[in-house]
Amino acid sequence: MSQTDQRDADDAGSPGTDAPPSSEDDSGDDDMVDLDLRSPLWERVFTVAPLVVVGTREGEGFDLAPKHLAMPLGWSGHFGFVCTPSHATYRNAREYGSFTVSYPGPDQVLVTSLSAAPRCGEGEPTPGLPSLPTAPARKVEGRVLRHAHLVLECELDRIIDDLGDGSLVVGRTVAARARRDALRVTGVDDEEIVGRAPLLAYLNPGQFARVSESHAFPLPEGFRR
């Protein structure tokens, strides 16, 4: 058992930590362990997230960066991702007012990883970007990954700062494209579509998975969004 595990298991009721639940609030699940919030919470267990590559204009060139804290916001075409103000992606999106989003497929893990290569110095571009398979965006400034599962082009809508060390960058989608084999079509089961066009998932922290099998979620009869 690691030192952090031992601290979580043994110190849950010590001063300055979350006390164990009272008998009135006991869930009855003996397999649950209180987590010490002094340690990074999201590094203690695996959670499933999408993995996207965000593209921005940078000076006379462009930049790409992978993000997993990224998702649609509502149902009207808004998309957001979390970034820190110290990152070029944040500064570029704010300066040029747009960004792109590429959903890579499972066979593009290496390309996605290379887009995260550290810069050689302040103001230097990400090494190797020109060699990655990209294409120009059509309606905003920036580039997208070729052969991506789904591509979005977004105009900056707003930035919400002061979420701890992070900020939420929100865009409004003005163009979107998807691989033909990934499109949902009438007469074809969703499970078949996922099987022929697998998805890439990020298992935070530091793992990825190929999703090629799915099942219909058992929603209650009459359920509405």
Interval 73-112: pLDDT, tens:
999 999 999 999 999 999 999 999 999 999 999 999 999 9
Asked if the structure places residue 130 within a domain, the reply is yes
Six-digit token string for 177: 């494209």
Give the per-residue pLDDT at 137. Answer: 97
Distance CA 50, CA 70 (A): 7
Give the confidence band of 15 by pLDDT, cuts at 50, 70, 90.
Answer: very low
Asked if the structure places residue 210 within a domain, the reply is no
Checking if the pLDDT of 18 tops 90, the result is no
Helices (H), the chain: 3-10, 88-96, 109-114, 190-196
Structure-token match 């070729």, residue found: 146
Give the confidence band of 26 by pLDDT, cuts at 50, 70, 90.
Answer: low
Asked if the structure places residue 8 within a domain, the reply is no
The mean pLDDT of 159-184, rounded to a whole number, is 97
8 A C-beta contact, residue 116 and residue 128: no
Give the confidence band of 27 by pLDDT, cuts at 50, 70, 90.
Answer: low
Per DSSP, 115 falls in state T
Checking if the pLDDT of 23 tops 50, the result is no
Structure-token match 């090494």, residue found: 127
Asked if the structure places residue 52 within a domain, the reply is yes
The mean pLDDT of 143-162, rounded to a whole number, is 97
The structure's pTM equals: 0.84
Asked if the structure places residue 84 within a domain, the reply is yes
Asked if the structure places residue 162 within a domain, the reply is yes
Interval 102-146: pLDDT, tens:
999 999 999 999 998 887 667 677 878 888 999 999 999 999 999
Instruction: Work out how many domains the chain is built from and give that number.
Output: 1
Asked if the structure places residue 126 within a domain, the reply is yes
Interval 184-214: pLDDT, tens:
999 999 999 999 999 999 999 999 999 999 9
Domain that holds residue 98: 47-181+193-201
The mean pLDDT of 49-57, rounded to a whole number, is 97
CATH number at residue 164: 2.30.110.10
Top pLDDT among 92 and 24 is at: 92
Q: Which residues partner with 147 through β-bridges?
A: none
Checking if the pLDDT of 63 tops 90, the result is yes
Asked if the structure places residue 123 within a domain, the reply is yes
